[in-house]
Amino acid sequence: MNLIFVAIDDVKLIRKIYKKKFETYNLSPRSCVLGDTFIECHNSVQIILDLNADVCIFDQFLDYGEDNMLGTDIAHKLRKSNYNGLIILRSGSMADNVDPNIIDMTVTKDIKIDECFYKIFNLINTRGNLSETVQP
């Protein structure tokens, strides 16, 4: 599968899970996981645009001690930069309180990562913007 995914999370274990799932679902080797540092999050918009990512998955609350960032802030910057890929927001508390013009789908953190990918692939297939059906 040639889809390029970018995931951003501040939790090391979640980043490792994303990396493994990118391999499991045979996503593009250009797919990447960001969020190790605040600087990496700060630079994420340009990285995503340079990669021409198809799907972005953002944690909402990116906590780096004194420096914090919101996934919705990254999403807004991407949309202002004419990014038209899918933006998925994972949040523990605000899944219904987002602008649908910015965020394509929200998922709560209580669902498993595999279920999150299943929902993303369903959304891709529903939108019909691929030449083939994507299977989880």
| Euclidean distance between CA atoms 104 and 85, whole angstroms | 9
Tokens of 42: 């700060």
pLDDT: which is higher, 21 or 91: 21
Could you read off the pLDDT of 44-74 as tens digits, one per residue?
Answer: 999 999 999 999 999 999 999 999 999 999 9
The class of domain 5-127 in CATH terms is alpha beta
| pTM, full prediction | 0.90
Name the nearest CA neighbour of 89 among 7, 27, 26: 7
Could you read off the pLDDT of 13-41 as tens digits, one per residue?
Answer: 999 999 999 999 999 999 999 999 999 99
